[in-house]
Amino acid sequence: MKPLPPAPSRVFRTTLALGLALTAAACAGGPRADLKPGQVPAADSTEAGLWLVMDKAETRLKTSGRVIPDPELQAYVQDIVCRLAAEHCTHIRSYVVRRPGFNASMAPNGFMSVWSGLLLRCENEDQLATVIGHEISHYVRRHSVQRWEAMRDSLTAAQVFGIVTATAGVPLGGFAVLGAYGQVQAYSRDHEREADAMGFTLMSDNGYAPEAAPQLWENLIAEKDAAEEDKPDPFFASHPPSEERMQTLSELAAASDRHGTVDNSRFEALMARHRATWLEDELDLGHYAEMQVVLDRLKDSGTSPGVTWYYLGEVLRRDAEVEDKEEAVAALRRALTYDDVPAEAHRSLGLLLHRQGDHADARDAFENYLAVAPGADDRAMIEFYIKKLETKS
C-alpha cells in the first residue's frame, strides 16, 4: 500500500518559498570548505534557503507514512551513521523509507534517507556502510549547495525542488525529474567520484571490510545487465557508470592496508524481519529479470530460504514471458519445505496447479492456505475455488 502524494497546493507553497529564497540570496558557486560539526549556514545565504526547503521536505517525509515504523531498524542505521560520521553524528538524521529500488540520498541540512530496496540489496553491514559513508561525504563536502548553484541558472525552482526531494524518497507527484537530472549529470558525477573515495576511507578506517565496497557495485552491475532493456532509472542516470565506480573502488580496496570485519548478526536479524515485505514491493515493480539476480544472491547465501524460494516462484509465476510454469511449481514446492515460508506460497501453488488442470492437488494447496492463514482477506474467493474444484475431481 502506498500513501497518496501530498496535495498540490502544499507542493506549490514550498516551491514558492524556494523561489523566494533563490532570488533573495546570491552567492558565488564552486567548491567550499568542508562543513564543520554543527555548523549552520549564515541566515541570509543561499545555503540557508536550501536548508529551509529540506527542513520542510524532512517534515513531510516524517508524516508521509513511508518511514518504516521499526525503531530498532532506524536505530541500527543511525548507529552506522555515528560510527562513520564521528562528531557529525548528532547533526545527521537518517530515515529508512519503504520504497523498492536501490537508492539513498543526503540533504544539506543533515537529512539522510535510505530506501528499503537498498537494504534488500546489501549482503552485509560492510556494504551498507559503503553507501552511508558515501552519503555522509556528500553532506560534509556540501555538495548539494554547489549543485544547487550550478543548476539554478538552467532549471526552474520547481525542477530543483523535484530533484532534491525525489531522491530523498519524499512522495511528490508530477515533476519532470528525469529530464532535469540529465542537465546536471556531468556536474554531479564529479561529486559522486569524490563521495565514493571519501566514503571508502570512512568505512575502511572504521573497521569495515574494504572489499565490500567494490562488491556492492559488482552486484548492481549484474542486476543492471540482467534488465531486459535499458529502462530510464534515475539512479543509474545520475551516477557515474557502475563499471567505473567498481573499478575505482577495487583499486582502492587492493591498495588499502585495512582488514576490518564486523559481526553481521544484527544486520541479518533486521533484514530477515523485513525481507518478505521488501521483496513484495519489488515484485510490484515488475522488473523480473533484475529481481531474479537479487533472489539468486539470496538463495546462494542461504538466508531466509522459504521467503527467497517463494519469491523465486512468484517471479516465474507472474512473468508472462515464462510460458512453462513447471519451474515456478518446483520453486514453490521447495519454499514450502522451509519454516519461514509465507502462507501465500500455498495459494500461488494452488493457482498454478489449477491452471495446469491438476484439480486434486490444487484443492489441497488452497485448503492448506486457509489452514495456515484462516483470516486471509481473500478467504471467500479461495473457498469459491475449492468448491469449484470439488465438482471437478
Residue closer to Zn ion, measured from CB, 52 or 195: 195
Contact 126, 97 (CB under 8 A): no
Residue closer to Zn ion, measured from CB, 192 or 290: 192
Residue closer to Zn ion, measured from CB, 152 or 189: 189
* Amino acid letter, 72: E
Question: Hey, CA dihedral for 6, 11, 17, 22, is it positive or negative?
Answer: positive
DSSP string, 14-82: HHHHHHHHHHH-----S--PPPPTT----TTSHHHHHHHHHHHHHHHHHTTT-B---HHHHHHHHHHHH
Say which residue the cell 513447471 belongs to: 326
For the bound state, the minimum distance from the C-beta of residue 113 to Zn ion, rounded and expressed in Å, comes to 12
Residue closer to Zn ion, measured from CB, 106 or 312: 106
The count of residues interacting with Zn ion (CB under 5 A) is: 2
Q: CA triplet 293, 296, 301: central angle to 5 degrees? A: 130
Say which residue the cell 530477515 belongs to: 272
Residue 300 has which C-alpha cell? Answer: 546462494
**CA-to-CA distance for 365 and 98, rounded, in angstroms?**
31
Q: Give residues with Cβ within 8 angstroms of 325, minimum separation 6.
A: 316, 317, 352, 355, 356
Residue closer to Zn ion, measured from CB, 194 or 340: 194
Residue closer to Zn ion, measured from CB, 192 or 282: 192
Rule CB under 5 A: which of 281-340 touch Zn ion? none
101: left (phi over 0), alpha (psi -120 to 50) or beta: left
Stretch that binds Zn ion, among 52-60, 188-196, 227-235, 371-379 (CB under 5 A): 188-196
For the bound state, the minimum distance from the C-beta of residue 195 to Zn ion, rounded and expressed in Å, comes to 5
Binding mask 193-222 toward Zn ion (x if CB under 5 A, else -) reads --x---------------------------
Contacting positions for Zn ion (CB under 5 A): 192, 195
